[in-house]
Amino acid sequence: MRDKIQSVSKSRLNTELFPYKLYVKAKKFGIWNPEDIDFSQDRLDWETLTEAEKKNILIQIAQFAGGEEAVTIDLLPLVMMIAKEGRLEEEMYLTTFLFEEAKHLEFFTRFLEEVVGSKEDLSRYHNEAYKKIFYEELPAAMERLAHDQSPEAQAIASTTYNMVVEGVLAETGYHAFYSGVGKLGKLPGLLEGISLLKMDESRHISYGTYLLQRLIKEHGDHIYNVITNRINELMPLCIGSITNGKNPDEHIQSGVKTFGVDNNDMLEFAKKQMNVRLDILKRARENNLEEVLNIEEEPVLQ
């Protein structure tokens, strides 16, 4: 039973709140259709790739598509929790968030079906560190919100989803993909879709840093410690996923590259991604609540 209808009450919608601004941006920039992307040249290009190039791309697509499916499934408990708390502006944005994750999954599915054409089981490219994050840690953190809406549970869920999965793993993967595949001068449809996808992800990550800042301001430095502890738990798994489970130093010294991108560069990019967002969260400990709730969108590193 609800006690009021916010949109017609004296408070109305708070159109100055950051999540509402993200909602407006999502309507403007997020309405792209995976079915509109032309894969005709990609099909031709695919036949010109070496077997090694095809395998490298399939490894990345297996991780991208698997990640997009996971985050599509796992987001719903957060949406329901925010709705239960009566945060209407945040819920409005999260409806676009979930829609976009589903589109990302559709995009990679189209590429596999219409360009690759093979029905092989690509989950064999999910290494143990990847599985630990996407098969265990992410769903567990998000599903916990169904029965535990504590600030600590919210912080762990958002840190896992927004800071680590999206902010580190996905962004690092797209960085490597662009740096490597972009140099081939091929697969224009795939690159176009990933460019659009990255714009969506920048809003997702921005919402996550907003949510974590809000939790820090509402519940104190204890939440900041929860966030950093969770990051410390997951970062070794991130490194294992990026380096395919090998010791980073050995992996780098062996000269192994992904699409011609040195894994040392990938690890440095991942660390930079995390440090940028930790700096944002540190500011939440210094700013007042109003500044946090109306914070401007943070750019995602390219």
Per residue in 126-150, pLDDT (tens digit) is 999 999 999 999 999 999 999 999 9
Per-residue confidence (pLDDT) for residue 296, from 0 to 100: 52
Per-residue confidence (pLDDT) for residue 141, from 0 to 100: 98
% of the chain surpassing 90 pLDDT: 65
Whether 244 has a pLDDT exceeding 60, the answer reads yes
Residues 34, 166: Cα–Cα separation, whole Å: 20
CA atoms within 13 A on the CB side of 176: 28
Beta-bridge partners for 262? 257
Per-residue confidence (pLDDT) for residue 157, from 0 to 100: 98
Whether 25 has a pLDDT exceeding 50, the answer reads yes
Considering the entire predicted model, what is its pTM? 0.88
| Nearest one of 155, 129, 114, 11 to 63, comparing CA atoms | 129
Whether 6 has a pLDDT exceeding 80, the answer reads no
SS3 category, 255: coil
Q: Are 247 and 44 in contact (CB under 8 A)?
A: no
Q: Which two tokens stand for residue 172?
A: 């690092």
% of the chain surpassing 70 pLDDT: 87
Question: What single letter denotes the amino acid at residue 135?
Answer: Y
Mean pLDDT of 22-50: 96
pLDDT digits (tens, 9 = 90+) for 255-302: 334 455 677 788 888 888 888 888 888 887 776 655 655 555 444 433
Q: What is the mean pLDDT of the chain?
A: 87
Per-residue confidence (pLDDT) for residue 285, from 0 to 100: 77
Residues 256, 69: Cα–Cα separation, whole Å: 28
| Residue 243 CB neighbour total at 10 angstroms | 22
Per-residue confidence (pLDDT) for residue 268, from 0 to 100: 87
* CATH superfamily of the domain spanning 40-288: Ribonucleotide Reductase, subunit A (1.10.620.20)
